[in-house]
Structures are given as structure tokens and as C-alpha cells.
Structure 1
Amino acid sequence: MENDAETEKEKKNKNNKVIVGSIICTLLVIYLGMATYFRTHFYFGTEINCVNVSAKTIKEAAKQMTSQMESYKLSLKEKSGKTEQITSTEINLKLSSNDEFKRLKDKQGSFNWIFGALDSKNSKLKANIIYSNKLLQEKINNLSCLDSKNIIEPKNPSFKYSSTGYVVLNEVNGNKIDKDVLYKNIVNALSTGTTTLNLDSTNCYLKPKYTVKSKKTSEIKNILNKYVSSKIIYTFGDKKEVIDGSKINKWLNVDDNYEVVFDNSILTKYMRKLFSNYETIGKTRNFVTTSGNTISIGGGDYGWDINSSEDIQKLIDDIKNGRTVTREPIYLQTAASHSSDDIGNTYVEIDMVNQHLWFYKKGSLVTQGDVVTGNMSLNTSTPAGVYRLKYKERNATLKGEGYASPVNFWMPFNGGIGIHDASWRSSFGGNIYLTSGSHGCVNAPYYLAQTLYNNIDAGTPVVCYY
């Protein structure tokens, strides 16, 4: 019995060995058969430019890739939802050569076919392609997304003024494309066989440098609000002009460098117009003469004159520092009063028709007397207008073409024209000025010139009229 059992066991083991051997032989035959097959065919999982060429011969793969190239289309998906295409025929797209296929197959060999799909180095090929760069550039240039009529420029956040301060408006992303980035992405897509290129996700669009969440945006808003919080109150006598946020905001811009700047053109135009309402040099005034007549008189250099350039710089500094100040403007020249009669009650009055001079100080007549003004017949008449006394000088010599006249009291008010004593004259007033007048100065008797000199100060208005 025992011998029969052993015989049965040995028989069974023998059969098992036969089965295992048969399986091994079968697998070996399959392996060798597949190895023979893959000697001329690509391994499973082989891709050329993302195209599956598994189990294809070099010739078959080349044919498939050629067909693939001929039908190739690259779809450009744009932000607007529109899609544009670049086809292979438009740019003469083709494979460089088939030699790379043979080199890939040689690297694969034939016996490693089982693990071929796992060997990405020898199962993936990025084959060289060629195309007309000129045609590609032309195609890109003609894309609708690059047409200037369709482009919306990206913009940084903007700032809007309101009665409660500035609010930030969202940035504009726009749809303007960075042409260089687009070109690089298209070339990469062509070389890899990619058929769809999303322009947004591949960063082809230019973006604003700043957003509403940028730290710089917050800084800009704070600066703007600081500026419009300023309040500069100009005083002109009993009148006032207020410069506050309602005006300042119109002078502020955020430039291309995202910096707060003043629009100096608008600011200067506004301030010069405002100042002109209070500047009186050369303007026509109503003047009540000693005889009681009200005359209109213009010209001359007396009056208020604001140093606009310097004051505007001061104004900008006040605004930048967020100041609240009350001040006068910066003057080049002042007058006696900001009222409509800026001459005040201290002045020299010269009636050139009646050849008479009066000098009033603080409303009281100090002196008066007949004078001789410029010679009418020689066109050297004394100009009408309201002037300011420039200075006064004792013992001066007046020089001109063909003369040099020493005087005791010299008080110029209009260039080389002034009031002075004239010892060479024995009489004054009347019609002397018509034919025997001065070179333009006001000739006065000694007593009149002396009294005037002793009581007048530089800057005093001198009113000359006919």
C-alpha cells in the first residue's frame, strides 16, 4: 500500500513539473515571439509628440505622424470665449526628418518590451518639427485678439473723489496680449503637438501691476485723502477765498508710475485766475479828484501784485502736508487797501490839464501847488496812470540826451520820470507845459518839492490824469 502511494505521489510531481515546464516554454515562446515583433515595432505606450504610436513600425509611425502634421490645428482659447486657430498648412508645419524614429526604436531594442511603457526615456519622443517662422509671425500678427480695435488695456485701480474722501475703483484686467509670451507658448505647443492653448492660463495676457488689494493702492488712497483734507484760507482784506478738497481733488492725478502728482497746468490756471481778481496793477479805477469829479483811470504800476509762482509752490507744500492754514498770498507788491479804492488816503494827485499837484497824507492835505509837466508839443508829455513812488533822493543830477540837471529833491515814480524841484524855472502852472514843458518829469517849485520830499514815503501812489 505504501509503495502504491509513493508511486502515485511521484507521478503527480512529475506531472506538475511537466505543466510548469510547459508554461515556461509557452511564456518563453511568447516572449521571444513578442521580442521578434518589437524588433521592428515600437513598444506599447510609445508616444511621439504626444501621439500614440504603440506597436507601429517606423514607416507606419512616420506615415501616422505625417498625417497628424497635415491635419494639425492649434486652437487658441481667448479670454472672451472666442477661439482662433493656426493650421499646419498656414505655416508649412512638418517633421524635420524620420531619423529620430529609428534612433528611438534602436534605443528601445526588442527584449525590454515588457517594461517598455514604464521607461519614459525610451517611450516618449519630442520629435523636431520645422515651420516657416515668417508665416507664423504673419499669422500671429493677423490674429483678431491682437487687433488694436479689439484691445482693452489693463489698468491699475483708479480713485474717485467723493465728499467723504476717495474710494478705490477696481483694476481693469483688459485683454491685451503680451505678444512675446504668446509667441513662445505657440512655439512650445507646436513642438509638443499640443492642440489647445489657453491664453489666460498660460499667462499670455498683460495684467495690471497693482490691484485693489495691493499695499501700494492703499498708500495712494491715504496720500490722496491727506491732500484733500487740507484747507488753505486766503485773506484779501475782509474777503476770503477757501481752497479745500472740493477744489484740490481736481488738481490731483495718479500717473502711469502709480504716483500721486499735481496737474500743475490746471492748478496754475485756476490760481492765476483767482489771484487776478485781486491784482490791481494797470486796472481801471474810479478816482474822485480834489475838484470832486469821479474819473476812470487805468495804467501805471501801482496796485496789488501777487507772486503766483512762489505762492503756488507754497500752496502745494501746504496741501502735501495736509495743513489747515489762514494766510495772505505772497505778494510782489502791495497797495494801501483791498477795497475798490486801493489807492487809500495817502497819495499824490497831479491834474495835468490844470497843472496842479496835491499831496494827501492819511486824508489830510499836506501841500499843493502849480507844476509843469511834460512838453506836449515835443511828445514828451507825462503819461497818465497810477504809479508808485520808487524811492526818494537828495541832491541828484538828472541826465538825458543833451542835458544834465542838478536837483535838490528827486522822487521818481515811472522809470526816469519823477517829481523834482526846478530852479531854472521862474513860474509854474498855466499852459507852460504845452510848448515849454519838461522831458516828462513833474517840475515843482522848491517849497513844494521840499515839503513833499519831507513827508512822502516810497510806495506812495502817484495819480496822474488829464
Structure 2
Amino acid sequence: MAKKKKKNAKKLVLGVLIAYVAIMALGYMGVSYYFSSHFLKGTTISGMDSSNKTADQVKKKIQKQLGQYKLRITEIDGKTETIQGSAIDLTYVDDGKIDELLSSQDRWKWITAFSAKKTYELAVTTTYDEKKLTGVLDDMSCFQQENIVAPEDAYLKEQDGEYVIVPEVEGNTLDRTKLESAVKDAIENGKTEINLEELGCYEKPSVLQDDAGLIAERDAKNQLLKVDITYDFGDRSETVDGSVVKDWLIQDSDGNWTVDESKAAAYVQQLAYKYDTFGLTHEFTTHAGNKITLKGGDYGWVIKKSETTAALVEYIKEGKTGTVEPVYLYEGKSRDTNDIGGTYVEISIQDQEMWCYKDGVVVVDTPVVTGNVSKGYDTPAGSVWAIDAKKHDAVLKGEGYTQPVTYWMPFNGNVGIHDADTWRSQYGGEIYKTSGSHGCVNTPTANAEKIFNTVEIGTPVIVY
């Protein structure tokens, strides 16, 4: 009887154990079945806790999050603007990935899921209204004209006689195509923040202040601007420095900066227009204080333009400083505005008188006999001439005569000043009208000698 009771007890325990195992098995299978439609404990999808949620619940949560989506855009000046998902109708597109992920999980391992968490990153497929996105971008502050600063290249500027580099302006002008691409990429990939400068969305200046070519250009130009020369015109002057030369700089065929010789030549031409006096009109004040105008003659200054231009170009290239003179083809005796100066010979046909001045002081005042009017040998008048030569003991030859003289000072071809005591005893008056010279200025020998010793070749002779 005792053995029978013991045997029954064992059967009872075994039954309980079997029942317990069965219950456990059924429970395990039941939970496993539950996780065939729910995500395991500890499952995170794209940063979202998806534990114990069905695929539909996860999808709804994704859509809810999209409704709260914000894209923070940082601009070049640190300012930020935001695009709301709701403003562009951002919507989740069920591409089956959530269902695939649910199906791929091992539901039978739900027990280990409590300690072994699973994290998944999915590229959530979305859609949005592109027209609304375009409108949102149009309304952004960074696209309002009053807020836009265009980029500017660094460039050279002439300042105080030299070139300096004006730095580039970065500006804040956006490349609309690049911006739209960056924004769409961010939205489609669920990014919540982008930096437009880091993504290269801004238009940039093409020449920066440290550009090697710009620096080389500055240095080359400044070397050419070092010139500082003054052309001496007696009581006037003209200066050529950087402020003048800056407009003459060009690049040659090799890309080197140099002087535009045509502009240098044009400058020299202007000097000639302003300062050449040879054969031009002269204003003169006579011994009597009368102001007269003299035209023509061969006295005065003429700049030799080609040589002066060549010299000027070299001055610029070598950075010359100081006072210089143009290269002259013809020169007068004074470079002042009154280029006749204070040493000259004045001859009055009407008065038959001649004066010789030395540094503004009369050294000779003498009667003379000029060209014979009755025979058409008038002495050329109304002009300023220059002494062409000085000859001692010369022989004058002309049509029908040969005449030795002691002092010969021609000023207009065969017309000149000379002594005439060997055949004249009287001077002045009206002798010239009927018994004058062949055009020369006959002068008492003593006075001719004084004039000969006073004047130089080039001394002006005023005849009126």
C-alpha cells in the first residue's frame, strides 16, 4: 500500500512538470507569435523607439514625426532659417521597408531581446510638394534683394600715387541650384540641419587679395609709377609722376606690364603744342613801350618729339626722379614764357634805328640803313629771327656786287647785320627808301663791333 502511494506521488509530480512545461511552451509560442506582428523589445528604428509596436504603428509614428520635421539652415553670417515639414506637405511613403524589417527579425529570440537591443537606420522614403518648397525658398530672407550682397573680385586701385589691392568682397549671394540641391538632399535623408557655407552654396569671388597674378601686377605697375620727373620750361614746368603714368600702363604680348608708347608720345605732342615757339607768334614790347605782335621768323624752340618720347619711356622704366629737359630740335635763348629774353637786337624799319640789349640793358642804340624800298629790297619785317652765324672779315656777294665787311651777322639767309663805313658816311633818316641796302642792316662800324661782341649765334633779332 505504501509503495502504491509513492508511485502515485511521482506520477503527480511528473504530471505537474509536464503541465508546467506545456504552459511555458504555449506561453513562449504565444509571445513569439505576438512578435510576428510587433517589433522586439529594445528595437530602435532611425532613432525612434519601436519596441512592441506593429509596422503600422511605426509608420504612423514616422508620419507624426515628419509633421513635426524642421530643417534648420545656417547661413554665411550665422543667421538661421527654418523649413517646416508641414509647409511643404512632407509625407511618408510606405516603401515596404518597415514590413521587411519586421519580417526579418527573429521573433523566437524575443527573450534575449531584453538584453540585446537592436538599432536600425532606415532611409525613410518621403514625398513633398516641390512647388510649395520653391515658394518657401523664395520667401527666405537670404533671397530678398535688399539682403543680398554680391561677391566682388579683389582689384587694384590707384591711391596716393601707387597701386594698392582692394580686398575681395565675399558677399552672401547664393547659388540657387546648389541651395535647392542641398535642401532636397537634407529633406529626403531626414537631416535636420545644414550649413550653406560648408556645403559650398555661395557664389565666390574669382580673384582674391592673395592672388599671385594680382600681386605681380601691383608690383610691376608700382615700379613704373616710381618716376617723378619735372620738365623745365624756365618760368613754367610740367611734372610726370605716378598720377600721370598710371593711365599709360599696358601689358605687352608676353603679359608684362610696360608703358604704352603711343600715350607717352601723345603727352610729348601736347608739350610741343604748349611750349614750341619756333616760327610762331610772339608778343613783343618795343623800346618805346608799344606792344606789337610778330609772326613767323626762325627763332624759338622746337621739341624733338620722337627722341623726347623715347627718353620719357626710359625715364619711366628706370624710375627716374629729378629735373630734365626735352630733347630739342631748335632752341631759343630763353625758356621762359617770354622766350626772347633780355638779350636781343631790335630793329625799327620806320625809325631806321637799331638797339642791342644785354640782359635787359641797352648796350647799343644806333641809326641804320635797311633795304632799298624803291628797288624792292625791303628788309624782311614783322618777325623774330635768330642770328645764324658770326663771321669776322667776311665777303658779301650778291647780284651785281661783292663787298667785304668786318663784322657779319646774318639772321635771314643773305640778310644780316654788318658794318658799312667803307661806303656810307650817313645812317638813319629816309636814306633806305631810295638808297638803301640789298636787304641787310647797314650799321656804323663801331656799333657793329659792339653788337658782334654782344650777341651769340641764336640771339633773337626783332624786325618791325
TM (norm. structure 2) is 0.52
Look up the SS of the partner of 1:303 in the other structure.
coil
Structure 2 match to 1:251: 248
Alpha-carbon distance in structure 1 between the residues aligned to 2:276 and 2:309:
15
The CA deviation at 1:419 is 0.4
Deviations 1:193-222, CA, capped at 9 Å, x for gaps: xxxxxxxxxxxxxxxxxx999977765543
Structure 2 match to 1:402: 400
Look up the SS of the partner of 2:246 in the other structure.
helix
8 A contact 2:298–2:386 mirrored in 1: yes
The CA deviation at 1:353 is 1.4
Alpha-carbon distance in structure 2 between the residues aligned to 1:245 and 1:255:
19
The CA deviation at 1:457 is 2.6
Alpha-carbon distance in structure 2 between the residues aligned to 1:230 and 1:288:
40
Structure 1 match to 2:433: 434
Deviations 1:5-63, CA, capped at 9 Å, x for gaps: xxxxxxxxxxxxxxxxxxxxxxxxxxxxxxxxxxxxxxxxxxxxxxxxxxxxxxxxxxx
Calculate percent identity across the aligned residue pairs.
43
Structure 2 match to 1:241: 238
* Structure 2 residues not aligned, in runs of 5+: 1-152, 169-207
The CA deviation at 1:166 is 6.6
Q: Are 2:448 and 1:452 aligned?
A: no
Q: Which moved more, 1:440-449 or 1:370-379?
A: 370-379
1:398 and 1:293, CA in 2 relative to 1: closer, same or farther beyond 3 A?
A: same
Matches for 1:25-174 after TM superposition, within 5 Å: 162-163=158-159, 164-165=162-163
Structure 2 match to 1:262: 259
The one-letter code sitting in structure 2 at the alignment partner of 1:296 is T
8 A contact 1:166–1:224 mirrored in 2: no
Q: Which moved more, 1:435-444 or 1:159-168?
A: 159-168
1:158 and 1:459, CA in 2 relative to 1: closer, same or farther beyond 3 A?
A: farther
1:292 and 1:322, CA in 2 relative to 1: closer, same or farther beyond 3 A?
A: closer
The CA deviation at 1:417 is 1.6
Of the three residues 300, 304, 307, the one matched with 1:307 is 304
Structure 2 match to 1:319: 316
Alpha-carbon distance in structure 2 between the residues aligned to 1:454 and 1:322:
44
The CA deviation at 1:424 is 2.6
1:158 and 1:443, CA in 2 relative to 1: closer, same or farther beyond 3 A?
A: farther
The CA deviation at 1:410 is 0.4
1:242 and 1:159, CA in 2 relative to 1: closer, same or farther beyond 3 A?
A: farther
Of the three residues 265, 282, 286, the one matched with 2:283 is 286
Alpha-carbon distance in structure 2 between the residues aligned to 1:436 and 1:159:
79
Alpha-carbon distance in structure 2 between the residues aligned to 1:269 and 1:439:
45
Alpha-carbon distance in structure 2 between the residues aligned to 1:361 and 1:284:
23
Moved over 4 A (4+): 157-161, 166-170, 211-221
Structure 1 match to 2:139: none
Q: How many residues align?
A: 270
Q: Are 2:251 and 1:225 aligned?
A: no
Alpha-carbon distance in structure 2 between the residues aligned to 1:372 and 1:357:
10
Alpha-carbon distance in structure 2 between the residues aligned to 1:263 and 1:158:
25
* Structure 1 residues not aligned, in runs of 5+: 1-156, 171-210
Structure 2 match to 1:369: 366
Structure 2 match to 1:380: 377
The one-letter code sitting in structure 2 at the alignment partner of 1:410 is W
1:158 and 1:383, CA in 2 relative to 1: closer, same or farther beyond 3 A?
A: farther
Look up the SS of the partner of 1:411 in the other structure.
strand
TM (norm. structure 1) is 0.51
8 A contact 1:304–1:335 mirrored in 2: yes
Matches for 1:186-205 after TM superposition, within 5 Å: none
The CA deviation at 1:394 is 0.9
The one-letter code sitting in structure 1 at the alignment partner of 2:392 is R
8 A contact 1:161–1:249 mirrored in 2: no
Alpha-carbon distance in structure 1 between the residues aligned to 2:210 and 2:413:
64
The one-letter code sitting in structure 1 at the alignment partner of 2:362 is L
8 A contact 2:301–2:328 mirrored in 1: yes
Alpha-carbon distance in structure 1 between the residues aligned to 2:325 and 2:452:
32
Structure 1 match to 2:419: 421
Structure 2 match to 1:350: 347
1:445 and 1:212, CA in 2 relative to 1: closer, same or farther beyond 3 A?
A: same
Deviations 1:363-415, CA, capped at 9 Å, x for gaps: 33222222122233444322221122122111101123333221111011222
Alpha-carbon distance in structure 2 between the residues aligned to 1:381 and 1:412:
15
The CA deviation at 1:333 is 4.2
8 A contact 2:156–2:218 mirrored in 1: no
Which structure has the greater CA radius of gyration?
A: 2
8 A contact 2:299–2:332 mirrored in 1: yes
Q: Which moved more, 1:267-276 or 1:211-220?
A: 211-220
Deviations 1:167-203, CA, capped at 9 Å, x for gaps: 6999xxxxxxxxxxxxxxxxxxxxxxxxxxxxxxxxx
